A and B are shown apart, each in its own frame.
Chain A
Amino acid sequence: GAVVSQHPSRVICKSGTSVKIECRSLDFQATTMFWYRQFPKQSLMLMATSNEGSKATYEQGVEKDKFLINHASLTLSTLTVTSAHPEDSSFYICSASLQNYGYTFGSGTRLTVV
């Protein structure tokens, strides 16, 4: 089946530094990648939609200059959290849409900013 590999699974970084999260589609081409964030005991909230070769579309309230999304190829999308702060600590998950209404998810990245 369609698999999205997400790395790293967990990362701890110092406040003010940047962190890059990668999502790779292993056996299919991901034209569109969705990025979600989940705070404890909350829902998965959509942050942005990225389409290969074009600029990402960000949801209201998500700073595009802080959460940089790059989808330069059909198999790789990255999310970079720039100048991270403790309030950015969360669980980040990518998801690719498949044909026939399917969706596949990465395994998620637990980011802790200290």
Chain B
Amino acid sequence: DQQVKQNSPSLSVQEGRISILNCDYTNSMFDYFLWYKKYPAEGPTFLISISSIKDKNEDGRFTVFLNKSAKHLSLHIVPSQPGDSAVYFCAASASGNTPLVFGKGTRLSVIA
């Protein structure tokens, strides 16, 4: 039973356009959400996070939106750059010091 779902295994976007990566979750106890970028054979790199008390968090080109009622969050990258090409994982936590639960990831390809 997947508690965190990323239904799009891949996404292709032109350079300069917006990339939107989606994530859904089922566990209503999750109260903290994170996005990670990952290259093969490397550990995940933290991008941005959001607490359940917020509905939006922005950091440079990255913005995360959280819709608690729909149990849905999304990561927006704008403008997209070729260096953004990687696998993006959505992760959720039920409270501090508990393990993260990851989605299966979405492979983003930004085409020049």
A32-B97, A49-B99, A97-B97 known; A103-B89 Cβ under 8 A: no
What residues on A are CB-neighbors of B51 within 8 Å?
101
What residues on B are CB-neighbors of A99 within 8 Å?
96
Interface residues on A, range: 20 to 34
Interface residues on B, range: 20 to 34
What residues on B are CB-neighbors of A6 within 8 Å?
43
How would residues 9 to 24 of chain A score, 1 for a CB under 8 Å from any chain B CB and 0 otherwise? 1100000000000000
Q: Please tell me if the beta carbons of A46 and B99 are within 8 angstroms of each other in the complex.
A: yes
Do most interface residues of chain A lie in helix, strand or loop, or is the interface mixed? strand
Question: Measured between alpha carbons, how far is A44 from B99 in the docked complex, in Å?
Answer: 11
**Partner-B contacts on A (CB < 8 A):** 6, 9-10, 31-32, 34, 36, 41-46, 49, 91, 93, 95, 97, 99-101, 103-108, 110
**Partner-A contacts on B (CB < 8 A):** 4, 9, 32, 34, 41-44, 46, 49, 51, 89, 93, 96-105
> Apart from A44-B44, A91-B41, A97-B96, what are 16 other A-B pairs with CB-CB below 8 Å?
A32-B97, A36-B102, A42-B104, A43-B103, A43-B104, A43-B105, A44-B100, A46-B99, A95-B99, A95-B100, A101-B32, A101-B51, A103-B93, A106-B43, A107-B42, A110-B41
